[in-house]
């Protein structure tokens, strides 16, 4: 299927004009993830959105995130984080990414400390 990069580029210009969001580690946010290249994870819907877990705050304007998926596929690059808004969710370790906080739209919840620790350990074990 052909990707509609033209529509994404129009939205990306609008996102660039937004204000940064106050964010903290362990928070799950909806983010304007975008339309990406090849096998990189894409956002979905009209605004190319995807939920993400903030795993590290780098500055007021940037953070490191892991995108979430509800896919049931077995994959060693995914860590189960339980139900998020009633949906069984996993983080996708292989798609770790630094983002500008202007991509963050709506805060969903704060992840439980024990689950967040499990995710951090899984990230460390990647290396």
Which domains are present in the chain?
5-125 (2.30.30.110)
What pLDDT, on the 0 to 100 scale, is given for residue 116? 98
Token pair for residue 4? 């509609």
Cα-trace Rg, the chain: 14
Q: Where are the beta strands (DSSP E) in 1-127?
A: 27-32, 49-57, 62-69, 78-84, 87-92, 97-100, 104-110
Kindly report the pTM of this predicted structure: 0.93
Token pair for residue 81? 């984080």
Model pLDDT for residues 5-29, shown as the tens digit of each residue: 888 989 899 999 999 999 999 999 9
Reduced to 3 states (helix: H, G, I; strand: E, B; else coil), residue 4 is coil
**How far apart, in whole angstroms, are the C-alpha atoms of residue 10 and residue 54?**
26
């Amino acid at each position: 299927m052909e990707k509609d990069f033209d529509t994404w580029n129009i939205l990306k210009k609008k996102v660039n004009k937004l204000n940064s969001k106050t964010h903290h580690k362990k928070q799950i946010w909806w983010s304007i993830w975008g339309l990406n290249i090849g096998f990189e994870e894409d956002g979905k819907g009209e605004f190319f959105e995807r939920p993400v877990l903030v795993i590290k705050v780098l500055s007021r304007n940037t953070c490191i995130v892991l995108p979430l998926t509800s896919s049931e596929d077995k994959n060693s690059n995914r860590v189960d984080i339980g139900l998020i808004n009633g949906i069984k969710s996993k983080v996708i370790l292989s798609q770790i990414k630094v983002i500008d906080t202007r991509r963050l739209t709506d805060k969903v919840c704060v992840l439980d400390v024990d689950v967040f620790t499990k995710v951090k350990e899984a990230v460390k074990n990647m290396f």
